[in-house]
Amino acid sequence: MEEDKTENAENTRKKYTVKSMSKKVATWIIAILIGLFIVDLIRSSQAGTSPWISRYMEVHYPGVLDALSDGSSSDSMAATEEAAAVETGVSVEEAESDSVFDADGFIFPDSADEYLTEDELYELKYDEEYSFEDLLGFARNEIYARHGFPFKEGGRYFNHYIQYDWYNELEHNDVSNGELNEFEHANVDLIVNIETREGFR
């Protein structure tokens, strides 16, 4: 009888020891995982990538992260974009569109006052909305549009510039190269050279 009690006591002590050891192991595992997660967050923020768990979820369980968000993050993102737009003086619609054209329909609003460079013009090659050929044409023709050049009615340049008050308020007449200032003349020549080099003319 005494042996049974001793055996039961020993078994109970072993159970408690195993339980406490399991708790300690579980605690250590959780602590290690949290540490790894924090390190991953820090490294991914420094590298400009999303954390490992986000990348794993995106690959193996697409849509789950979107379903978990209740829309509050998108609301806060919209508010941040709106605040940034107000700060820079650009409307939210313009900021979202990210168009190569500015609010007045110009690609290079200062091409009448400064020399364009090949690098600036070749940047247009990477626009996703328009072809390089089209954008070079607009960059060249906006110089003439500022002087009131009467584009062919119904054509793409007419349809583009007729939307803007500044163009409608101009007196429309044929513009000769002699009417262009030194910046405009040099910029037209540069654009034409690139158009020729690229086989657009």
Same domain, 30 and 79: no
Q: What is the pLDDT of residue 95?
A: 38
DSSP 46-69: HHT---HHHHHHHHHSTTHHHHH-
Report yes or no on 107 lying in a domain. Answer: no
Q: What is the pLDDT of residue 188?
A: 95
Give the pLDDT means over successive 10-residue stretches in the chain (201 positions): 62 65 81 78 63 59 52 47 42 57 95 96 93 96 94 94 94 88 95 95 89
Report yes or no on 110 lying in a domain. Answer: no
Q: What is the pLDDT of residue 89?
A: 38
Q: What is the pLDDT of residue 199?
A: 94
pTM score: 0.52
Class of residue 142 by CB neighbours under 10 A (exposed 0-12, middle 13-18, buried 19+) = buried
Domain that holds residue 83: 69-97
